[in-house]
Each structure stands twice: as structure tokens, then as C-alpha cells.
Amino acid sequence: MAISYTDIRKLVDNQGFQARLQVALWREASKLVRQNPAPAAELLTWARAALKGVSHLTEATIRVATAGKTFEFGEAVTDADLQQDVKNIVSDLAGAP
């Protein structure tokens, strides 16, 4: 069952969830930087910027909280499922086609 709109909104302000999400973003960015052949320029630019610090947390939270396993389980989502949800949104965050 999907989490409620209220719970989706709470995730945006949940510091514990934000910390987990930030790690998932960094992991995905690290994978992109090491990818051979290199990913699309937009993805590489996003990845390099994401590895410099906190990046896109509000937008990323909204996107993962409204689709995928995060939408189903909220902050109880497993790290593996959160990582997959992040992988699914990175192109959108980067503005890549």
C-alpha cells in the first residue's frame, strides 16, 4: 500500500531519511563518474556536482517518495530499494534525455 500524502510531505523534512537519500545519491554519482564508456554529458555533470556535497535533496525526495518502493514503504524502504529508486530518477535530476 502506498504511503499517504502526509507521509510523503514528512519525508521532505525527515533528516534521517534525507541522510540515507544523500548517501544513495552519492553512490549513484560515484558509479556514473567511474562508468566506462562515460555516460551522457548531463549525467556526468550532475554526478560531479553531486559528489561535491548535498545535492537535489528536496527534488530527489519528492521523486522517490512518489514512485517506486519508497512510495510503497516510506522511510521504512530498504537501502537496496532506495538505491534502485535513486537510480530510476537520476536521469531526470540531471536533465538527461
Q: Give 14-41 pLDDT, tens digit per residue.
A: 999 999 999 999 999 999 999 999 999 9
Query: Which of 72, 49, 58 has the alpha carbon at shortest distance from 17?
Result: 58
The answer to whether the beta carbons of residues 24 and 83 sit under 8 Å apart is yes
Global pTM reads 0.92
Q: Percentage of the chain with pLDDT > 90?
A: 89
Q: Percentage of the chain with pLDDT > 70?
A: 99
**pLDDT for 55:** 67
- Placement of cell 519508497 in the chain: 70
